[in-house]
Structure 1
């Protein structure tokens, strides 16, 4: 039989383990928060600029700007917003069709997933790993396989 003191000690140890696990998850998602960008092309001919902001409150904003002098129209903006969650190193995106989609924010990120890439703290080599997000699943065809770097 366990004595009351041992039972109390076990409860404390389990509580500490659960809290430390939650803090490590929070620290990882905290590392993901920020602005990510990717620019393709030259200003003179065709330029595409992607910007994604992951906010601390679990919301995100996305903006794609395309400037193509030979395009019709020559400038195109696309916007998206919604909520995001982190599961290990995967970021899941959610768009509420009633609240997040309107005339300006018309991109539906539901089902979009991106991998968070960063250098492991255990990696002591001189290898450079740029902190980034790599989309690997999305209903938006031009976002799938998009890699954007953290600023």
Structure 2
């Protein structure tokens, strides 16, 4: 019984590790408007389960015209859905003010079994967030 349990545990661990490997990396989205305003989203998912996020906006008629916002915390993945969590005690300071708690994003990539010519970008599709401007944002992996 012990060998069977050990083998099952190792197989599940390898599966989780390989899924995490694909997700880890840098993601970026740049949006520009006709009036030359721009919005940039940068997200880094680290191997150790931490993340950092930077949002930059340059709105020509905005007050102030340039805005930088930062967030950080931990992430986990289950069934290609990444859940973000920010700890109010250690992840917030004067610079890091965005709370990613209750934020979820789907990891999208082309299946290795898909042999078609269709190009599918590896990206994160944000599904839920208490940060209202993060909902429905798709950030491409770079």
TM-score (norm 2): 0.95
Report the CA distance between 1:37 and its aligned residue: 0.4
- Larger gyration radius, structure 1 or structure 2: 1
1: CA distance between counterparts of 2:83 and 2:111?
21
Tell me if 1:81 matches 2:59: no
**Structure 2 gap segments, 5+ residues each:** none
1: CA distance between counterparts of 2:7 and 2:23?
25
Aligned residues: 142
SS at match of 2:74: strand
SS at match of 1:123: coil
TM-score (norm 1): 0.89
Moved over 3 A (4+): none
**Structure 1 gap segments, 5+ residues each:** 1-9
Tell me how large the CA RMSD over aligned residues is: 1.4
Does structure 2 retain, via aligned residues, the 8 Å contact 1:78–1:105? Answer: yes
Does structure 2 retain, via aligned residues, the 8 Å contact 1:25–1:88? Answer: no
